[in-house]
Structure 1
């Protein structure tokens, strides 16, 4: 896999709502040169909630067109976005906080290509400053037709009687039926996993044959590590898992990701335990923006923010009230901070006129999958919060149905409980809300 940051060399134009796409091709349209991440609202501090559309465009020449699967990955676009490649719609995504990825191979042509992204910001849509635009990183990804599925490698490290077992479930697929030679169907491959410590030493290796198909296949393996160095708040030690897909002796795809060895335990009488050591959570609720910098992600500013929080005694962060940036999860792993990752501030019942409630029923399943699959391997994750102060939980019985549905969706993508399902509620005096709380794990 070749994964390249795709942030530089974009152009941006702010337009009125419901601007026809063909208008953007006319002469006289002002296009500003920008780099991503970008938040267009922060530039006018006298009008931070102006309803408008943002249009982004970029031209590029793919390096490997013809023999690769080319995808574009957006870590966050706020909100209601549509992606066009060479004038054709490649996909749309509604929620502003979840990561999404589109296969754009069929839309590409030899030579120069153009990507346009339409972002629709209607106000009010939040109870805080959201920002607007492509405010997190964008990646261009090229893979062989035989490859690991995006966010499809699931790591679960469990302590046993004789050391630690690292269970790895890896989703693989062969898309040669769509792109190139169809001879790949049913061919044998080898999936190899290698655990590497922070000094670059190989700790464990396993591999086995796996049959490639044109549909997703899950390859499951177990590695054993006798006495690993644990991830903790005081010593956030990280290992790497290197996963390789080998076909006919050639490595077709490689994925490298961090993980850690730690245990979690919640006790209703005694509290929370990390690695069997009692830990009192000293937490804050942190929104995604960076103050005067707006919503555009800046890892240096975020590191400074977390450093200050740790200096004041914070050891845990709740990502109020939405899915966090990749950088937050990476820094939490690196700096030793526990994360309560939150998905939604509303379900079907809205809190503002144009919030996510208008998309919830159609999109929540995809958003939960994106959220959990992307972040489930982080050692910093301890809880998945399916909602904050959700009106639905105390309004009627429908709230209980949605609670069960969201809980089950989280557990579908994190069945080995790298994090525990919870919900943030201050409506506990209502019977319906209490019944919803009884359905989650913490």
Structure 2
């Protein structure tokens, strides 16, 4: 009889424990380290056509795959086009990039510097020579006003000194170019975490300038500086933009907030990204946006809406405008329109390699009063670096 009682008690304990475990497991929807949206009634609509906002799980070093945790009743699924095998990379240090990019810039732009030096070092510098110098600067996209200013200053100094020594001429040219590039402008990124929230960056630009790729490269720059980063895929109109951004993030262990449907409300995705960044206490949240065409008023209004919705939770600290350095005057027009809509705080110049049009740096800064903060000089994942005025001028002239 005693044995029978013991058996019954043991069975009851096992049964109760099994039910309790099943209940606990049923209530656990997401594994540790992922973000599940918890929305308040006052939040903006999640999407324009239903759906949910997800966060790609932060990849672990050596992990064999990355996946997505959705809002409710969804299991862990692969979100990068099938099973992937991505090792978390360690991006190249920023200082090493600067040296490499300076060498590449010197090779791609030396036609400008050498052409000017050849003209300025002639035994006789008459009006025809000055006209050639002016034309060279204009072809380099320096802009009319900066070109006239540079030529006038050089004329005055060459006349006063009367020197044709190549080294002295080089020094004069570098000094005048550096003054135009303006080394006093603050080119630091607003990437420091605040006391109670992350730094918030928005990245804007038209289609075709490499905006999403640039965001991935910015994330690599920040990870190399030991920043904790989260990406927000608010470019919901371009096919595969979210997956492209998520792949960039996965390579360096950075999670991505994205919608599970195409055409979702970009402002809501951005809102959720900032919320996730606040809850996860990251250092920086970077928000991708659709490639707005500057002549589409409705799309530009939508961009302004994204900024307003985000600022319901936190101020946007940095708005980076990505421009293609080869577009010349068209790039200047883009910059002007974007700055009117979202108050651009910094410029990222891509495709600065392979062109002698380095003067676009001066032209953009003069028109907007906004500094060039980052430059891209290649297709490699680490071919993006902070802009350095002195290094830029040295690369043009040396």
**TM-score normalised by the chain length of structure 2:** 0.28
Q: Greater helix percent: which structure?
A: 2
Highest CA radius of gyration, 1 or 2? 2
Which protein has greater RCO, CA pairs closer than 8 Å, 6+ apart?
2
**TM-score normalised by the chain length of structure 1:** 0.25
Q: Greater strand percent: which structure?
A: 1
